């Protein structure tokens, strides 16, 4: 079972079914802010929807296709981070993340992302880690930029967000370039 202490206050742990109530509460409490950039928010209407998500993440982990972790800050669930999937043949993955609105601005996600890149490269022996973010999502783009990822280009109309497409900027780091 994956868990990882990042600092005295911050740790990551695989989501479990008994986290569903807290996961739904932070999603619901940040609904308007999260839906600007995340496509699944309107479809998350009840604790059962959060449970279904957690079940999906448990299957992902069991089938050796990466994982989704909750982020705990001062013993409170404040967000999620994970690998979308593992491309073992090409030794690469991509990372996605979100934080409850009130917990932005402390560097929690930058540190969590750094930990997931470290794990991808040192434990899973991957060669390439990608992060993509909507062009106008400055807070998300700032994370790979802060961690020294390279900007590789623009993915046109890469994501459908409720009623419109958004372009993404693709960032990546390589095993040979990643410095702890
Ligand atoms: C994207 C998202 C996770 C970024 O959250 P964030 O709080 O800005 O990111 P961090 O937790 O890394 O915090 C960085 C901020 O804390 C500050 N900070 C404080 N201590 C820090 C530390 N030790 N390390 C890094 N940054 C630190 C930084 O200066 C920065 O502040 P600024 O934005 O005023 O410059 C958040 O905005 C979010 O969940 N958005 C909605 C969902 C979303 O867009 N997901 C991504 C889809 S691609």
Which atom of ligand 1 lies nearest, measured to the CA of 146?
Answer: 25
> Rounded to 5 degrees, what are φ and ψ at 5?
-85, 125
State whether the beta carbon of 143 lies less than 6 angstroms from ligand 1.
yes
Q: What is the DSSP letter of 92?
A: E
Distance CA(32)–CA(28), nearest Å, equals 9
Ligand 1 contact, 171 CB (< 6 A): no
Cα of 63 vs centre of ligand 1, distance in Å, is: 31
Whether the pLDDT of residue 2 is over 90: the answer is no
Q: How many structural domains does the chain have?
A: 1
Q: Is the CB of 38 under 6 A from ligand 1?
A: yes
Is 149 a member of any domain?
no
Nearest CA to ligand 1 atom 35: 105
Evaluate whether residue 63 is within a structural domain.
yes
Residue 127 CB–ligand 1 contact under 6 Å: no
113 CA closest ligand 1 atom index: 12
Tell me whether residue 75 is exposed, middle or buried, using C-beta atoms within 10 angstroms of its C-beta: 0 to 12, 13 to 18, 19 or more. exposed
Q: How far is CA 132 from CA 120, 136, 154, in A?
A: 16, 12, 9
Residue 72, domain extent: 3-127
Residue 138 within any structural domain of the chain: no
Q: What is the pLDDT of residues 115-163, one digit of tens each?
A: 999 999 999 999 999 999 999 999 999 999 999 999 999 999 999 999 9
User: What pLDDT does residue 1 have?
Assistant: 76
143, part of any domain: no
CA dist 137 and 157 (Å) reads: 14
The CATH number that applies at residue 87 is: 3.40.630.30
Beta carbon of 107 within 6 Å of any ligand 1 atom: yes
Residue 94 lies in a domain: yes
> Is 99 contained in some domain?
yes
pLDDT in tens, 18-67: 999 999 999 999 999 999 999 999 999 999 999 999 999 999 999 999 99
pLDDT of res. 180: 57
39 lines ligand 1 (CB under 6 A): no
* 10 in any annotated domain: yes
The residue whose CA has the least distance to atom 5 of ligand 1 is 104
Look at residue 164 and tell me if it is in a domain. no
């Amino acid at each position: 079972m994956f868990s990882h202490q990042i600092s005295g206050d911050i740790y990551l742990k695989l989501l479990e079914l008994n986290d569903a109530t807290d996961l739904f509460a932070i999603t619901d409490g940040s609904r308007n802010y999260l839906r600007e950039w995340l496509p699944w928010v309107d479809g998350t209407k009840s604790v059962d929807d959060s449970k279904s998500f957690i079940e999906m993440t448990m299957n992902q982990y069991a089938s050796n296709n990466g994982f989704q972790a909750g982020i705990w800050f001062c013993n409170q669930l404040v967000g999620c981070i994970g690998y979308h999937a593992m491309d073992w043949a090409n030794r690469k993955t991509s990372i996605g993340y979100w934080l409850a609105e009130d917990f932005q601005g402390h560097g929690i996600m930058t540190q969590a992302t750094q930990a997931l890149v470290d794990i991808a490269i040192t434990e899973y022996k991957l060669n390439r880690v990608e992060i993509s973010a909507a062009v106008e999502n400055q807070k998300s783009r700032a994370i790979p930029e802060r961690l020294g990822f390279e900007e590789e280009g623009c993915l046109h109309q890469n994501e459908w967000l409720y009623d419109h497409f958004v372009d993404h900027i693709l960032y990546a780091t390589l095993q040979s370039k990643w410095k702890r």
